[in-house]
Structure 1
Amino acid sequence: MSSAAILCVDDEIVILESLKEQLKRNFRDRYIYEVAESAEEAWEVIEELQEDDIKILIIVSDWLMPGIKGDEFLIQVHHKFPKVVTVMLTGQADEAAIVRAKQKANLYACLYKPWTEQELYLTIDSALE
């Protein structure tokens, strides 16, 4: 079993299922694929992964979510885990949020909905190099 994980955060379960399916199809069993429907749930997943000594490599987060925007969540993640690669997935993030995430969360990339499986694969693959 892998000791490295990719975490996807989005408030739409259909998006999460699609991301997870595409990641599994492209990276097979190289990683553990976790999903969370909110930033709050993501923190719980992060805590569980840490308890199991599983390293989080990448977090792909939606921007528009209830409770907290994706850029704010990724900034919090970056402060606590500076080595985790952050990717924002959005259909409607404003440019200011993307700039803020680049400056404060070391945002690696921003994918726009609807993304292609090729875009997702290339982004994640290059981030892991």
Structure 2
Amino acid sequence: MSKPVILCVDDERVILESLRTQLRTAFGDRYLYETAESAEEALEIIDEFQQDSTEIIVIVSDWLMPRVRGDEFLVQVHQRFPKGLKVMLTGQADEAANLHRCLYKPWHSEELVETIRSGLSSEGS
């Protein structure tokens, strides 16, 4: 059985690399860390993991992205995977996205990690 996945979605590669580094530092080898530069790419990744029966447990998404905004993307994801933890990195969010939390850019690594930890622990209870 493969490791659960944390998927980060942002149209800026430097943000994605920063997120991956921070999450890997905090959580080590417990999870796989995937990135996507658009909502469309993220949905393709989600479909691939679903076909492999690999669970995506956290999705961290930017709000302002080309073509499909992060809140619209997370609404689509929630309709398919209502139990997954969803975190948005921005100051603007739509309640329909069913977010666990919305973080403001620039975020603090500790805040991101604690948000994910608290969300994962509440999902398990």
**TM, length-normalised to structure 1:** 0.89
How far apart are residue 53 of structure 1 and its match? 1.5
May I ask how many residue pairs the two structures share in their alignment?
121
Residue 118 of structure 2: aligned partner: 126
Q: Secondary structure at the match of 1:107?
A: coil
Taking the TM superposition and a 5 Å limit, the aligned residue runs for 1:1-129 are 2-90=2-90, 92-93=91-92, 98=93, 100=94, 102=95, 104-129=96-121
Q: Unaligned stretches of 5+ in structure 2?
A: none
Q: 1:3 offset after TM fit, Å?
A: 2.4
Contiguous gaps of at least 5 residues in structure 1: none
1:2 Cα deviation from its structure 2 partner: 4.4
Residue identity over aligned pairs, in percent, reads 61
Is the strand fraction higher in 1 or 2? 1
* Separation in 2, partners of 1:75, 1:52: 23
- The alignment's TM-score, normalised by the length of structure 2, stands at 0.92
1:54-107: CA deviation from partner (whole Å, max 9, x where unpaired): 1010110000000011111101110111111111002x52xxxx2x3x3x2221
Runs of 4+ in structure 1 off by over 4 angstroms are none
1:2–1:26 CA distance, 2 compared to 1 (3 A)? farther
SS of residue matched to 2:59? strand
What is the CA–CA distance in structure 2 between the aligned matches of 1:124 and 1:19, rounded to whole Å?
A: 12
Q: Is the 8 A contact 1:11 1:37 kept in 2?
A: yes
